[in-house]
Amino acid sequence: MSKMCSKCKVERSLNEFGRHRRRKDGLNGECKCCVNKRSRERYKTNGEYYKAKREEFKEKNPDYFKQYRLVKKNDNV
């Protein structure tokens, strides 16, 4: 089966669309490629905002990042 991307208007296979619970077919309207492209553009134009948000989150949740580092360290061993 396939589906038409609402952004690029290209017919793609269903596995090239992300999940979206509220939609009738259960899939996002835009393909993953278009979603990724839009996200990259948004980050380029608002990069400082996203960096500040990440730093703010890191300050408020130090235990989260400590746990993350421990898990990553143990995965590498």
pLDDT in tens, 14-59: 999 999 999 999 999 999 999 999 999 999 999 999 999 999 998 9
The rounded Cα 77 to chain-centroid distance in angstroms is 28
| Buried-exposed string 30-57: b where 16+ CB fall within 10 A, e elsewhere | bbeebbeeeeeeeeeeeeeeeeeeeeee
Residues 58 and 74 both lie in one domain: yes
Residues 27 and 55 both lie in one domain: no
The count of domains in the chain is 2
Lowest-pLDDT range of 5-9, 17-21, 60-64: 60-64
CA distance 39 to 44: 9
Residues 31 and 52 both lie in one domain: no
Q: Domain limits at 17? A: 1-45
